[in-house]
Amino acid sequence: MKQKLFLLISIISLFFFKESFGQPTTPNQDGRKWWKEAIVYQVYPRSFKDSDGDGIGDLKGIISELDYIKSLGVTAVWLNPIYSSPNDDNGYDVSDYRNIMKDFGTMADFDSLLKGMHERGIKLIMDLVVNHSSDEHEWFKQSRSSRTNPYREYYHWWNAENGKPPYRYSLFDVNHDAWKYDSLTNAYYLHYFSRKQPDLNWENPKVRQEVFNIMKFWADKGIDGFRLDAFQFAAKDTTWPAFPKGFEKDFSKYYAMQGNLHGYLQEMYKEVLSKYNVMSVVEGAGNSFTDAHNLVDSNRHELNMAYAFDGVNIAKPSGYSLLHFKEVFSRWDSAFQNNGWLSVFLANHDQARMVSRFGNDKPPYRALSSEMLTTFIMTMRGTPYYYNGDELGMTNIGFTDIKDYRDVQALNAYQHEKNIGGDLKKFMKREASTSRDNSRTPFQWEDAPNAGFTTGTPWIKVNPNYKTINEEAENNDPNSVLNYFRKVVRLRKDNLVLVYGKYELLDKANPNVYAYTRTGDGEKLLIVLNFTTHNADANIGIDVKNATMLLSNYKNAPLSNKKTITLKPYQAVIYRLPM
């Protein structure tokens, strides 16, 4: 009897042991998933690598650098749109969802790219741009041709005999007017982005079916995920109520999460996402945590991961406060502790460069602050999305001449400012630090003409600092930003506690240092980051005397005195604490 009891206790304790120590801690209800453990590297195809000398990056160019991408240690690539497009908004205006943009290559190139990635253990996440299409898409050509055309209801039209439609704000339009009059049928069509990006009518079941079929087409090819561009805006209240005056200052409140958006996502899940091993991430996460959870909580069967902007929105041209930064990231973390999953990022193709915006791009601090910010991204809970070029510490170019700009948003905003007699000098100054073109300059491969990006004339100017900031030089330097990036990626992959472990903020009121622990699976890591150009103390309340330093961007460990650590400018350090 005693023996049986002992056996039973042993089996039970073995079970508990396995549960608590055999697996990494998963405080989040949904458990382990490949897309939670992924490290996503964003490739902006137009600016990554040109293989044919036309000055525009292409798929063959990416293929030629797959070994480089693999060498970074990242496990997935998010590719900005590569579909046929007249390029009003660099591919975010799709004219054929089942074809490849001519500038980028062919479907055969795409197939070899996907194959090459999979051979290297890298997954591929594709951009899905279906809040709108291009006005050159066949659907829109049909739609605008007559009021009775079968495709008319694929878009939103307002017949002009009913007067002017209720004002809707457009993000990219020269007049900020989202209704464009079309004399062909005496009607207005809706475009939240540029005039060449008419919004699709998601309320029409035929449109939804078209999109699901497009998704199946790519999923059948074997891609691993979709990033749903601007999708929070896809559903509309088609009774077109008037919005209060000045609503555009807070347009997202009126545009995001409208109508039956969740219903459409559940339909998408049922029809497509549930049938494939693909992940899904939505750009934008509504206006509240409730909105964000409603998009991604697994019991709702919609999407996997939210990509929210509160974090990046902290940085203004005038700078940002670290206290605010800590508060926002901590709040988002705690809201997703038990359910749902987040993306962690500080840059992408719509933002200025990470180091210029959140760090310090002046020569003495550029490398250090890039490394410090990278440490932050790679040690937070949530899936890291890392923008190409940031691993080199690439900086803003800060164009001062409007002729250098290529982005439809910047060009139209300039024209708008001019039309209203605004302060163009002030506008140009702001644009130099905030423009999306800052992150779209060509990837800096080597100290060679055009940074080795192209043998032709690049579609947008190369940052002249490529002579010192480039992949070849950094690859050869063991202490470069690039090689630091590789180390911190390795560390994240080797320590699942950095993916799933509980996050706890320390020394909350410290305006200079961001310190936190990640705990789980019988282990605890401590991350301490100095966000300033001077030495800074962190009063973390933990004695690191017996801790193991796993990584730092300085040769020497920081000085520690009992429960205080003194960090050098932009120093980042990761410790393993004894348990």
Tell the smallest beta-carbon distance from residue 486 to ligand GLC (Å).
27
Half-sphere exposure of 95 (CA within 13 A, CB side): 14
When the beta carbons of 191 and 208 are compared against ligand GLC, the nearer one is 191
Q: Which is nearer to ligand GLC, 199 or 224 (CB)?
A: 199
Nearer to ligand GLC, 136 or 537 (CB): 136
Dihedral pair phi/psi, residue 526, rounded to 5°: -115, 130
For residue 497, the minimal CB distance to ligand GLC (Å) is 32
Using alpha carbons, select from 223, 329, 337 the residue that is nearest to residue 280: 223
Name every residue whose Cβ is closer than 8 Å to that of residue 43 and which is 6 or more positions away in sequence: 62, 69, 77, 78, 79, 80, 388
Q: Does 572 bind ligand GLC (CB under 6 A)?
A: no
Q: Closer CB to ligand GLC, residue 85 or residue 360?
A: 85
Among 56, 230, 373, 481, contact with ligand GLC (rule: CB under 6 A): 230
Residue from 58, 88, 224, 229 carrying the catalytic annotation? 229
- Rounded-to-integer distance, Cα 380 and Cα 385, Å: 11
The residues in 501-520 that bind ligand GLC, with binding defined as CB under 6 A, are none
The least CB distance from residue 492 to ligand GLC, in Å, is 25
Number of Cβ atoms within 10 Å of the Cβ of 534: 10
* Sites for ligand GLC among residues 110-139 (CB under 6 A): 129
CB 196 to ligand GLC: min, Å: 11
Nearest CA-CA partner of 156 in 45, 250, 216, 233: 233
Q: Which residues are bridge partners to 238 per DSSP?
A: none
CB of 212 to ligand GLC, least distance (A): 20
- Dmax (CA) for the chain in angstroms is 92
- Tell which residue, 126, 105, 114, has the closest CA to residue 66: 114
Q: Is 517 exposed, middle or buried (0-12, 13-18, 19+ CB in 10 A)?
A: buried
**Sites for ligand GLC among residues 411-450 (CB under 6 A):** none
Query: Quick one: 436 or 568, whose CB is closer to ligand GLC?
Result: 436
Q: How far is the CB of 80 from ligand GLC (least distance, A)?
A: 7
Q: x/- site string to ligand GLC, residues 175 to 204, per CB under 6 A? A: ------------------x-----------
- For residues 256 and 421, give the distance between their C-alpha atoms in angstroms, rounded to a whole number: 31
Contact 193, 211 (CB under 8 A): no
CA distances, 73 to each of 231, 310, 343, 423 (Å): 30, 28, 18, 46
CA distance 82 to 519: 40
92 binds ligand GLC (CB under 6 A): yes
State the burial class of residue 226 (Cβ atoms within 10 Å of its Cβ: 0-12, 13-18, 19+).
buried
Per-position x/- string for 323-352, each x denoting binding to ligand GLC as judged by CB under 6 A, each - no binding = --------------------------xx--
CB of residue 205 to ligand GLC, shortest distance in Å: 23
Active site residue 283: yes
Nearer to ligand GLC, 349 or 487 (CB): 349
488 binds ligand GLC (CB under 6 A): no
Q: Give dist(CA 229, CA 18) in Å, integer.
A: 41
* 89 counts as binding ligand GLC under rule CB under 6 A: yes
Helix, strand, coil abundance in the chain, percent, nearest 5: 40, 20, 45
Report the alpha-carbon distance of residue 175 to residue 405 in Å, rounded: 19
Residue 197 Cβ, how far from ligand GLC at the closest point, in Å? 6
Nearest distance from residue 283's CB to ligand GLC, in Å?
6
Give the shortest CB-312-to-ligand GLC separation in angstroms.
12
Q: Which tokens sit at 511?
A: 């305006």
Non-local CB neighbours of 246 within 8 Å, separated by 6+ positions: none
Binding mask 452-481 for ligand GLC (x = CB under 6 A): ------------------------------
The closest residue (CB) to ligand GLC is: 92
Whether 161 is catalytic is: no
Decide whether 73 or 86 has the Cβ nearer to ligand GLC.
86
Residue 83 carries which DSSP code? E
Q: Please, which residue, 103 or 229, has the CB nearer to ligand GLC?
A: 229
Q: Would you say 40 or 230 has its CB closer to ligand GLC?
A: 230
Among 50, 65, 199, 229, binds ligand GLC (CB under 6 A): 229
Q: Among 103, 173, 224, 283, which one carries the catalytic annotation?
A: 283
CA distances from 26 to 51, 245, 382, 520, 542 (A): 44, 47, 12, 8, 25
Residue 92: name the closest of 340, 380, 348 by CA. 348
Nearer to ligand GLC, 80 or 463 (CB): 80
Show contacts with ligand GLC in window 255-314 (CB under 6 A).
283
Catalytic residues: 229, 283
List contacts with ligand GLC (CB under 6 A): 89, 92, 129, 193, 229-230, 283, 349-350
